Amino acid sequence: MSRGVAVTGLGCLSGAGMNLAECLDSMFRNQRYPHPPVRFSTDHPVSYPVLELRDEFQLPLDDQETVYTRTSQLALVAALEALADAGWDAESLRGKRVGVCIGTTVGCALNCDDFYRTYKSGANPKLQVIERFLRSNPAAVIARQLQLNGPTQVVVNACSSGTDAIGIGASWLRAGACDIVIAGGADELSRVTYAGFSSLMITATEPCKPFDVNRKGLNLGEGAGLVILENEASVAGKAVRGRVIGYGSACDAHHLTAPHPDGLGLKRALAEALDMAGLGPEQIAFVNAHGTGTPDNDRIESRVLHEVLRGVPFISTKGYTGHTLGAAGGIEAVFTLACMARGEIPANIGFAEPDPALPSTPVTANTRIEADYALSESLAFGGNNAVLIFAKGDH
């Protein structure tokens, strides 16, 4: 079995809480906070609940709103929490080879509709919003703010971006390219995203119900989830949060937005991750599923879990966070590691009635679980599928 890459720090903020502790507290109280959008207005005739951050956050920047986009700010907040959790700060990282690999979806788009509106009216809009976008590559922002000198990469692979970013970051350490890697996902919620998913008709008008027979779609969310990965020399003598021991990635090559009806890409990603980890399916203690609450995703994912990981408990945490798109894989990786340490997984909120078309169903109550190994998976538009397998850490 692979010893894997050490995870020494976790950072997370989402609609469930402004840091990892608040997120876990909400989830294990089975409390969620969907509401109509507050940070932007919309004249869409139907109101879809979202899970925005419930509080403001502050960064050590003179004017954070004009310096960087919200996605990059979210990534930086999560990075600072994860570094503190790992016992690092900007000063102590000097002289280390530190890479940054961040997944995003919305963060790569120029969502500045006021600028477009002004331009279309015939006026000349100010270029500050464009300049802000051009300096807001989220991986480069973290590297610039912390004065890091390792490789930086942004992964834009739809809703598997955060999972892929952690898998790629771990590969840098295995290749000897870095001492430390900051990896995960970040995405903001915007009016453009809200309107886009409304047009796809896959958003629910009520709090989402992953894997339930009455599920009507997803709730959008925002946030970031980042981990600190370290090589063996860097982690010597330090307690670790866990280890990345398996990663798999495969594409369905089937449809722009729908998963393959037999889940072929997901099966290949699972097989690749299990092979890399040197584990059998029976050794996985639980799965943090993608579980969007859309009819297609949940049907295919349930069938694949039943076929490949039959009997393994699984949950979707998107009922608490909403679907945070490019951030989802990072946030769910953080939750997976935190639940392993806690020895407990939360109830799959929103699930009440099984769907006869789904051969497996999620846990319906907070469940004690002894986990040496757990798995987090992401399915994405474009047919992308990505899987991470973690080993339990010291705390």
Per residue, what are the HEC states of the chain?
Answer: CCCCEEEEEEEEEECCECCHHHHHHHHHCCCCCCECCCCCCCCCCCCCCEECCCCCCCCCCCCHHHHCCHHHHHHHHHHHHHHHHHCCCCHHHCCCCEEEEEECCHHHCCCCHHHHHHHHCCCCCCCHHHHHHHCCCHHHHHHHHHCCCCCEEEECECECHHHHHHHHHHHHHHCCCCCEEEEEEEECCCHHHHHHHHHHCCECCCCCCCCECCCCCECEECEEEEEEEECHHHHCCCCCCEEEEEEEEEECCCCCCCCCCCCHHHHHHHHHHHHHHCCCHHHCCEEECCCCCCHHHHHHHHHHHHHHCCCCCEECCHHHHCECHHHHHHHHHHHHHHHHHHCEECCCCCCCCECCCCCCCCCCCCEECCCCEEEEEEECHHHEEEEEEEEECCC
78: Cα separation from own chain's centroid: 12
159 noted as active-site residue: yes
Residue reference for tokens 């393994």 = 312
Catalytic, out of 159, 178, 251, 339: 159
Instruction: List the catalytic residue out of 101, 112, 251, 290.
Output: 290
Residue type, 84: A
Active site residue 255: no
**Per the residue annotation, which of 12, 208, 323, 339 is the catalytic one?**
323
For the annotated catalytic residues, the residue numbers are 159, 290, 323
